[in-house]
Structure formats: C-alpha cells, structure tokens
C-alpha cells in the first residue's frame, strides 16, 4: 500500500498588519499584546563586543524606572513603538483586493527570531511590569518590523534610528510633566513668585547669551528639591509647596537686582555676564544653605525669610569679587559642580549665621588651606 506523503503545516504567529515601504524595503506595523513581547522579541547579549551586536548594551538601571512608570500609571501611560527585525521572510496575506494591498494578516513563523533594533529597555521593563501587574498583559504596543539583512544592516538601522533623536530639555520636561512631584512644585513656585514668573525660561535648560530671562525652570526645580532635602522619587506635600513659595518670595525681597530685572529687559543679560546670583548654581547653593531655616519659619511668612536673609541684600555678587573665585568660579567662569554648590552654600551659611555641617566644615577647611 502506497504511503501517502504528509505535508506539515508551518506554525505561525498571526497578526493583523499594515504593510509599507521604507527605503525600498517592505516593513510591517503590528499591534502586539504586552504579554507576548518577552516571548517573541529578543535583544543582543550585552556581553558581546560592540562589533558583534546591533544594539547598545542594556543599562539595568533604566529598567526599574520604566517598570514603575507602567505599573503606577497602568490606566494612563504611553509607550512608543518597538522596532525589530525578522531573521526570515514572513507571509503577508492581504485582506482586500486593492492594487497595492496595505492591510492584511502577517504570518510570522514560530521559529523565526525577532531581534529588537530599538526598544530593548522597553521590552525588559514590559516583562517585569506584566509579572507585577498581570492585567497589563492585555494591553498592546505598536511594533515596526523589517526583514533582517544581516548584522551590518541591523547596526546601520540602530544608527539611523538614533541619528536625529534629541531629548527634550529638562526645563521643557519639567514644564509638561504632570506626574513628577518635583516638576509640579517647580511650576507652582514659578507661578506664585513674580520674579520667577516673569524671568524663567521654560523651554531651554541653558540660557542663550541674549536671553531676557534670568533662570531656567530646571534650575528652580533642582533648588526646590535641595531646599526640601528631597531624594529623586520623593513627593512634596501641600505644606512643603507653601514653604517653598514663602522662601523664594522672601529671597526676592533681598535681591534688588532681580526686582530691577523685571522692569529692565536688558538687565538679565548683564546680570548673567557680570554676577553670580543670576545662575542656577546660586539658586542651589542658597537652597542648600537655607534648608534648615524651614524648621524655624512660620507656616507662611515671606517677610520672616526676608528679615532672616537680610545680610544677603548688601552682598557683592559681582564676578570680580575675589570671594567667588575657587568657590563657584573657575578662572572667572561659572562652575556648576557639586563641590561649587557646597562651597558657595558654606559661604552663604557663614554670612547668615547658620552652622555648617561636618562635611561642609571639612570642605571649607580644605578650600582655605
């Protein structure tokens, strides 16, 4: 009896897909459930040397942050598309009869290897997030698929994907971010303190030479957090918002130059060029030096802070003042380093009669020797 040949049907993962062309090559966009991402998509082994992989090495420190973002905002998050390559051809079955079919079913062989070109940190975070919060597995993420043409092509894809990537400035992120407690506080302080409201740049984290602004929103954000002695993921309460607003309102009262800058549009540029109190390093140092004052201050009393900070009203903030060289100036240029912040803070503490910490005392002794 003749033995009939058996045709083995190839097992596939089937996804509704859009077909397109980029650079003369077919590409496909699918929506993939998050629960399948760890099973379907791989990324290069970080242990390989750069010449043998098509991605940057995975940074484990980035993964918990993305994981927390997903799990803490499971009803209101956004994930950009993952870009990946298939190591073999996939079958695209059009659903319509258009001359150039764009919509159909993409059938990916189950044994195919899908290598991530962009999004390996998202993949790792998705895997952790779905484990912690299983309902996330039913959500989807867009995936852009190309047919793999070898390591050289994959490496070029990575370079092209990141060629024009520019991160938004810290100030603009602070202005837009409604989730981050430090950003919320920075916007609140900026709106409530007239000097900041009129003189703060919200789109850039460094000021152009001819800018009519004195401060950046990112500098205010950092200074607030130093004043409250907060760590990165801490939250700020309503009373702490009130403390910060009162503090900066009091500071403005003893900074006549800031007040004058509100009325003179050319003054901010001159202040930044000729003084130190129109720079982020000063805001941070002042916040560090005055952090302990919030335990003495009334709940909301800008005048109390203004009286307490009165010695600063007569300070010589000009760069030509030799006190600043080596503290926050290096060869006449503003220094933003941690050491500069601490050295300037210790000087301000001494002017205000606030005791130095042990670390500041040691740093001050080293500076004076």
Query: By three-state DSSP, how is residue 72 classified?
Result: helix
Which domain-ending residue is among 139, 163, 187?
163
* DSSP 3-state of 332: coil
Please, which pLDDT band fits residue 33 given cuts at 50, 70 and 90? very high
Query: In the predicted model, is pLDDT for residue 46 greater than 60?
Result: no
Considering the domain architecture, whether residues 150 and 194 belong to the same structural domain is answered as no
On whether both 78 and 47 belong to a single domain, the answer is yes
pLDDT at 98 over 70: no
The answer to whether the beta carbons of residues 182 and 170 sit under 8 Å apart is no
Q: Are residues 156 and 207 in the same domain?
A: no
Distance CA 365, CA 369 (A): 6
Task: Based on the fold, state whether residues 242 and 137 are members of the same structural domain.
Answer: no
Sheet with 41-42: list strands edge to edge: 41-42, 114-118, 82-86, 140-147, 25-33, 12-22, 103-109, 91-94
Q: Is 259 in the same domain as 303?
A: yes
Q: Which residues of 214-247 are buried (b: 16+ CB within 10 A; e: fewer)?
A: bbbbbbbbbbbbbbbebeeeeebeeebbebbbbb
Q: Tell me: do 215 and 159 sit in the same domain.
A: no
My answer on whether 145 and 177 are in the same domain is: no
Angle at 332 between CA 331 and CA 334, to 5 degrees: 105
In 3D space, the residue among 80, 85, 111 whose CA is nearest the CA of residue 26 turns out to be: 85
- Among 98, 129, 163, the domain-final residue is 163
pTM: 0.76
Exposure on the CB side of residue 53, measured as CA atoms within 13 A: 18
Distance CA 126, CA 74 (A): 12
- In tens, the pLDDT along 198-212 reads 999 999 888 988 899
- Say yes or no to pLDDT of 151 above 60: no
Which structure tokens are listed for 210? 């001819």
Q: Using CA atoms, how far apart are residues 40 and 110, in angstroms rounded to an integer?
A: 9
Which DSSP symbol is given to 58? P
Higher pLDDT, 45 or 148: 148
What does the pLDDT average to over 202-227? 93
Q: Residue 186 corresponds to which tokens in the numbers above?
A: 């920075």
Residue-wise pLDDT for 268-295, tens only, equals 999 999 999 999 999 999 999 999 999 9
- Rounded to an integer, the average pLDDT of 290-313 is 95
User: Binning pLDDT at 50, 70 and 90, where does residue 153 land?
Assistant: low
226 and 147 fall within a common domain: no
Q: Do 81 and 213 lie in a common domain?
A: no
In which band, very low, low, confident or very high, does the pLDDT at 181 lie, cut at 50, 70 and 90?
A: very high
What is the number of domains present in the chain? 2
- Tell me how crowded residue 6 is: count the other CB atoms within 10 A of its CB: 6
DSSP 8-state assignment for residue 275: B
- The b/e string for 81-110 (b: 16+ C-beta within 10 A; e otherwise) is bbbbbbeeebebeeeeeeeeeeebebbbbe
Same domain for 323 and 207: yes
In tens, the pLDDT along 314-359 reads: 999 999 999 999 999 999 999 999 999 999 999 999 999 999 999 9
Domain boundary among 130, 163, 196: 163
- Same domain? For 249 and 227 the reply is yes
Domain residues for 279?
170-368
Q: What is the pLDDT of residue 59?
A: 82
Q: 304 and 205 share a domain? A: yes
Please indicate, yes or no, if residue 262 is contained in any of the structural domains.
yes
């Amino acid at each position: 009896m003749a033995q009939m040949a058996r045709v083995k049907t190839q097992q596939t993962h089937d996804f509704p897909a859009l077909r397109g062309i980029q650079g003369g090559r077919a590409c496909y966009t699918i929506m993939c459930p998050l629960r399948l991402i760890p099973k379907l998509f791989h990324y290069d082994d970080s242990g390989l040397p750069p010449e043998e992989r098509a991605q940057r090495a995975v940074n484990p420190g980035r993964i918990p942050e993305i994981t927390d973002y997903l799990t803490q905002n499971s009803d209101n998050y956004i994930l950009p598309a993952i870009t990946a390559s298939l190591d073999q051809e996939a079958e695209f079955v059009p659903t319509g009869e258009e001359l150039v079919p764009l919509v159909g079913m993409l059938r990916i062989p189950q044994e195919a290897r899908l290598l991530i070109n962009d999004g390996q940190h998202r993949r790792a975070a998705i895997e952790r997030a779905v484990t912690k919060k299983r309902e996330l597995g039913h959500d989807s993420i867009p995936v852009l698929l190309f047919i793999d043409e070898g390591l050289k092509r994959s490496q070029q894809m990575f370079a092209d994907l990141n060629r024009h990537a520019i991160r938004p400035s810290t100030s603009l992120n602070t202005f837009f971010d409604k989730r981050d407690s430090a950003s919320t506080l920075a916007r609140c302080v900026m709106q409530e303190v007239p000097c900041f409201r009129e003189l703060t740049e919200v789109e850039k984290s460094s000021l152009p030479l001819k800018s009519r602004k004195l401060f950046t929103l990112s500098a205010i954000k950092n200074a607030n957090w130093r004043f409250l002695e907060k760590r990165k993921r801490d939250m700020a309460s309503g009373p702490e918002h009130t403390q910060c607003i009162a503090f900066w309102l009091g500071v403005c009262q003893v900074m006549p130059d800031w007040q004058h800058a509100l009325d003179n549009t050319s003054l901010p540029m001159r202040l930044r060029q000729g003084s130190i109190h129109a720079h982020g390093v000063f805001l941070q140092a002042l916040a560090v030096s005055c952090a302990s004052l919030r335990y003495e201050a009334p709940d909301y009393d800008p005048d109390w802070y203004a009286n307490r900070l009165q010695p600063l009203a007569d300070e010589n903030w000009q760069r030509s003042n030799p006190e600043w060289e080596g503290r926050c100036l290096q060869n006449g240029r503003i220094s933003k380093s941690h050491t500069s912040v601490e050295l300037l803070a210790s000087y301000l503490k001494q002017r205000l009669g606030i005791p130095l910490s042990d670390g500041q005392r040691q740093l001050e002794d080293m500076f004076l020797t």
